[in-house]
Each structure stands twice: as structure tokens, then as C-alpha cells.
Amino acid sequence: NAGVMQNPRHLVRRRGQEARLRCSPMKGHSHVYWYRQLPEEGLKFMVYLQKENIIDESGMPKERFSAEFPKEGPSILRIQQVVRGDSAAYFCASSQYRGPADTQYFGPGTRLTVL
Amino acid sequence: DQQVKQNSPSLSVQEGRISILNCDYTNSMFDYFLWYKKYPAEGPTFLISISSIKDKNEDGRFTVFLNKSAKHLSLHIVPSQPGDSAVYFCAASANSGGGADGLTFGKGTHLIIQP
């Protein structure tokens, strides 16, 4: 029973390049959440998606960041024209149901380094 | 504006003793609270949760206490074991009907269990 999978685990990009982070939820989970952890900080919620729908993107930066969760395949967090301040650990979590009563299961994260 | 605060960045406890990790919150809409444990280079792992209708929840060596009037919760680990050394995150969620579905995290407390 595989857990939440994220790839790549480490990603290095130069300023101005694009970064694509992938997340495959646990089997049977249709809710995906993305979080970002800056150095010495806690995790910050970015976006919540269900299949083919963005439910809540209140934590997403207004520019350069986008997320999708297509009908088939993993969820993708895309960062265009990366800057040094985007260097962080990006965690994906999934849940079976919506709402606070369920827990979110986290993947191992993608560590993005922008040179 | 930090809505979930963990004021102790680190805590050192002797093996076999009780570890007490504290967490304060400011948003009165929060009604579900979770503790996550995180090892380096891994994603957070769910530990224990509590709903606002309760004031205590216990699971083996882990007990979470909630004081709603003080907007304070604590995680007790007894007895502490070397494998408990990790960063512990407190997280909170608002009612799904009235708030975002993402979790709000504190900055974490690094627990060190000394032999």
C-alpha cells in the first residue's frame, strides 16, 4: 500500500527556469494539498485540489505559481521563472475525504534549490 | 500574523521522562488540531489529533490536551524514547464549512531525547 509519492526528491534550477513538481496521492485518495516550507519555518498551505478542480488556492502566490490535478496522472505544482526565494521544501499531502475530521498524509517532499 | 505558535524552538528531555510540547493558537475558528512528527529529509507523519469538543485524547504514549478558553494545546509523550527525537509540528484546521481546507502549522519544536 504505497503512500504519497513525490518526484523528484531534489530539483535544482537556475533563476528564470521552470520547476515542475509531481505528486501521486495515496490509493483511494482524491484530495491533494500542497504546502511549502521555507528554511526555519513551518509548513504553509498553498493550494487544495480535487480531480480536475482547484478548491482553494488562497495560499498560492499570485504570480508564477500554478497547480493542477488532472483526471489521469499526478498532481503538478508548476513554478515559472523561478527566483532564489522559491528555494524551499514542497510537500504534497492527500486525504480520502474533505474536511478537518480526516488527516492528511504527507509525501517525502521535493527540495527545490534555485541557483 | 502567526495563527499557530510553538514558542519553544527546541526541547531537551532525558530518556524515560515526560516530554511536554506546547502550542498556542489565535484563530477561534479552529476546531480540529493535529500533531505531526517530522524527521530530517522526510515528510511530516501524523501522530495524534483532537477535536474541539474534547479536552483530551490519548494514544499509547501520546496524549494531547486542549484548553479552548486559553487557546492552548499540549502534547505529552511518556515515557520519552530515543526514537522520539524529531521536529514536532502543531497544526490546526477550521470548520470545513467556514474556512480553508488547508492546515495551519506552527514553526515546530525540535525534541531531543538524551540517553
Query: Could you give the CA distance from residue A23 to residue A57 in angstroms, rounded to a whole number?
Result: 17
- Structure confidence at residue B97 (pLDDT): 43
Most confident segment among A40-54, B4-18, B32-46:
B4-18
Q: Would the CB atoms of A108 and B100 count as touching at under 8 Å?
A: no
Of A42, A84, A83, A81, the residue nearest A59 (C-alpha): A42
Query: Could you give the CA distance from residue B94 to residue B104 in angstroms, rounded to a whole number?
Result: 9
| Mean pLDDT of the region A25-36 | 93
| Mean pLDDT of the region A6-10 | 97
Strands laid side by side in the B4-5 sheet: B4-5, B19-25, B72-77, B62-67, B56-59
Interval A62-95: pLDDT, tens: 899 999 999 999 999 999 999 999 999 999 999 8
Nearest to B43 among A40, A101, A107 (CB): A107
> Is residue A15 within 8 Å of residue A78, measured between CB atoms?
no
> Is residue B73 within 8 Å of residue A5, measured between CB atoms?
no
DSSP 8-state class, residue A103: P
Question: How many CB pairs (< 8 A) connect A and B?
Answer: 75
Q: Would the CB atoms of A98 and B101 count as touching at under 8 Å?
A: yes
User: How far does A45 lie from chain B, in Å, by closest CA?
Assistant: 6
Nearest to B103 among A41, A45, A55 (CB): A45
Is the predicted pLDDT of residue A25 greater than 70, yes or no? yes
Provide, as residue numbers in chain A, all residues whose Cβ is less than 8 Å from the Cβ of B86: none
Query: What's the mean per-residue pLDDT of chain A?
Result: 92
How does residue A39 score in pLDDT terms, banded at 50, 70 and 90?
confident
Interval B47-79: pLDDT, tens: 999 999 999 999 999 999 999 999 999 999 999
Q: Which one of A7, A104, A112 would you mutate to disrupt binding with B, by most B Cβ within 10 Å of its Cβ?
A: A104
A15 vs B99, which has greater pLDDT? A15
Q: Would the CB atoms of A100 and B94 count as touching at under 8 Å?
A: yes
> Is residue A89 within 8 Å of residue A111, measured between CB atoms?
yes
